[in-house]
Chains A and B, each alone.
Chain A
Amino acid sequence: MQEVESKDINLKKLEAEAKANSTPSSFKLMFNEFKSDKMAMISLILVSLFILYVIIASFFINTSNMMSTNIMNYFAKPFTPDFWLGADAGGRSIAKQLIVGSRNSILIAIGLTAISSSVGIAYGLISGYFGGITDLAMQRVYDFMMIIPSFMIIIEIVNIIPSYNAISLTLILSMFYWMGTSRLIRAQTLSESNKDYVQASRASGTSTLKIIFKQIMPNVSSLIIVDTTISFAENIGVETGLSYLGFGLPMGTPSLGTLIANANDADNITTYWWTWLPATIEIIVLCLAISYIGAVLRRATNATQRRSTK
């Protein structure tokens, strides 16, 4: 009994010693990297606050009320107490539409990124690790998905399906946006799976699935983080573009794309600039900020590019 206890204390002491000498966690490394790049820090704060704000604020907005036409406010001027950013031809508040629309666009982009990146990562890892016939078959599927004009087909599907909402639209989009990620991950996996540590894992009796997702995946994590960030910015554009063309979210649901579509009217461009300019600026700022964040994440995951000295 005595011996077990002394061993316990010993273990704790050694553990503490090990902890003190451990390398900083990757989370801490990223934080340090953000601290050393002001622009990226501002971007990170801006993006996260903005996303939080639109999600919370949209709870207080009654969408159907907001989207109802009110002829009295026809093209109301901006910077007034009732209409911060003015109103459109239907007398609907641009500011409120911007909040709800941003929420819709961003949530769809987050969902799309989560699904398509997970699928792409798993697809690339499996295809790259197994190689041979598996790889050949999976890459032909990939080729097929690459050559079909995805935008056209999405528009077709949206037209055929009688009723759809944000969730089903996200799922439809996810079917067509996993390929880029998968090819990137596959290329890296091909080179990783030939390294000796994979053989060492096999010799240690680790199962194939564990080797793929626990041994190889951490080694492509830098690629995954960067690619996911960049494709998030890209995916905001996907939904926005679709809604701009009028095939995105169903009628009466605001989105960044529908707001930008106001710019289709020559009158709106010259006279009623407040109907489309805020949404356009928002997308530019958002995408720029996200790409700054992506650059920092790339540096943080690659030891040779780090700027922070810690």
Chain B
Amino acid sequence: MANPRALDKRRKSVRNIRKITRTMELIATARFKQAMDRAHAATAYTDRMKKLLHDLTRTGLEVTHPLLEPRETTHRGILLVLSSNRGLCGGYNGNLLRRAQARWEDFGQSVPQRELEVSGKRGLSFFKHRQQPVQEAFTHFEDKPRFDEVEVLANRYLNDYATGQLDRLDIAYTKFRSSARQEATVETLLPLGSMEEGLPEVDDQTAPAGRAESQYEFLPSAAQILEEVIPTSFKIRLFKCFLDAAVSEQIARMVAMKSATENADDLIRSLSRTYNRARQAQITGELLEVMGGVEALKE
């Protein structure tokens, strides 16, 4: 402990780590802003979609679709887990995987044929460690999930659901509530349940009040449009999950790296103090030795 050289070495390595965590914090901040902008840009679509749906339902159309109705018996269920490819993001993956694991065990009791699909290397290694087979693994979703990439997945689920090969789809991801609050959640995406869920509420002020009912002309027909609206709103929900997960990951990393940097600062300070004290003690010791030697020679 009192070896000043060892202390200095340790202080240097802490300084280096601090440089790394500080840089990662800055990178995460920049990525978070980008991801946030993307998520924000995506709300334009959901808002308009919601408005369209609002206008559609005002015609008094009965909203029924196979995607909305729960199946009587569930044979095959898929759990999709959105974890991150990289670590150093605090409790982000830990919290998420704990929730996912709990749902997976629930599945074991209620779903005869359960399958696991995982996005992100962290989740993959977690399930590999637990020796749970993963049917599909994705590692190409980084901090900028693209709609056409997500759509490929969505189409596969929709086709499987339509042909009766899939009865239930659950997704575990980190929901973005605000920049200060994200929570790991597990949601059921298929059957969709309510269509309005997941799409933001229409502000009544934005919808012009007092408009005549059903003023729209529907081409080819309202029912035909509805047939397309429902799969699309599923795709949007899935895409939103990916966007949320990307934003939350960057926030988690930013927060984790910020506190790591602060910790490193504290550590450097306390190490410096100990080092100075040890150095002073060494000098004092050496002085005493010299003085002792002089005294001894005098005699």
Q: Is the A/B pair a real complex?
A: no
**A interface vs B, CB < 8 Å?**
none
B residues within 8 Å of A by Cβ?
Answer: none
